[in-house]
Amino acid sequence: MLKMTNISKVFRTELVETHALSDFTLNVEEGEFVTITGPSGCGKTTFLNIAGLLETYTSGSYLLDNVDVTELGDFQRARLRNEKIGFIFQSFNLMPDLNLFDNVDVPLRYRGMKASERRPRVEKALESVGLLGRKKHLPAQLSGGQQQRVAIARALVGEPRFLLADEPTGNLDSNTAQGVMELLNEINAQGTTIIMVTHDQELAQQSPRNIHILDGRIAQESGKRTPVTPAETAAAVA
């Protein structure tokens, strides 16, 4: 699903050169739930940005769903992000001037889908996070947990192959965070690959696979790869 080999990312200024990631190699199989931990400035966000095609890397290779993204232009990267990746941000990143329906609708509009196709998908996504009844509300009218659920619905509406979550519970209280984690686990159980960056060690320990980054490298890896095949998913649901 995601295969990074010797990825390096160097930020250069006139005075200083910063190695955000160095020879970073990681394979994530389809259906995995991987947490990424590490201290501030260790390269977690850089990894997430590169994995999500939000920024380019200095060297190495990266295959996303067997597509080599190294030479892709801005248009193709945008297309891949839209079709294969769902993003969940720490601050939810909802559009404050748009109601919940329009917020969840955003990725589908960029996919160029007709309104008649988008509507049922948006409503289904909102229903899956329990907020269909509030689709006309604005984000400011919701609690933090509800806003993050909307963000999850937005991430899921395009039926992406994997979700990238950047501290999705970072701005939530523990009870709400637990609810969001349960939702993510459900999504993962249905076959969606999830990579989640978190500071929360407790959440990381619950994760089947945890990658600990230090100074731009993988310092420690715990857990084992637990790919969920469609057959396994079907068995789990049964």
Q: Please, which residues bridge with residue 10 across strands?
A: 19
- Please state, as a whole number, how many other Cβ atoms lie within 10 Å of the Cβ of residue 158: 21
Work out how close the CB of 227 gets to other proteins at its nearest, in angstroms, rounded to a whole number: 26
Give me 87's structure tokens.
């993003």
Pick from 78, 86, 69: nearest CA to 112? 78
Query: Which C-beta is closer to other proteins: that of 31 or that of 92?
Result: 92
DSSP string for residues in 82-93: HHHEEEE-TT--
Nearest CB to other proteins, comparing residues 97 and 221: 97
| Helix H or strand E encompassing 12 | strand 2-12
CB of 226 to other proteins, least distance (A): 26
Nearer to other proteins, 83 or 232 (CB): 83
CB of 231 to other proteins, least distance (A): 31
> Would you say 51 or 131 has its CB closer to other proteins?
51
Structure tokens belonging to residue 76: 């193709």
User: Closest distance between other proteins and the C-beta of residue 40, in Å?
Assistant: 10
| Helical residues (DSSP H) of the chain, grouped into ranges | 44-51, 74-84, 100-111, 115-128, 144-156, 174-189, 201-206, 230-237
Binding site for other proteins (CB under 8 A): 45, 48-49, 52-55, 74-75, 78-79, 81-83, 87, 89-91, 93, 95, 97-99, 102, 105-107, 109-111, 138, 154, 158, 166
Cα–Cα distance, 153 to 183 (Å, whole number): 10
Question: For residues 97 and 182, which CB has a smaller minimum distance to other proteins in the complex?
Answer: 97
CB of 234 to other proteins, least distance (A): 30
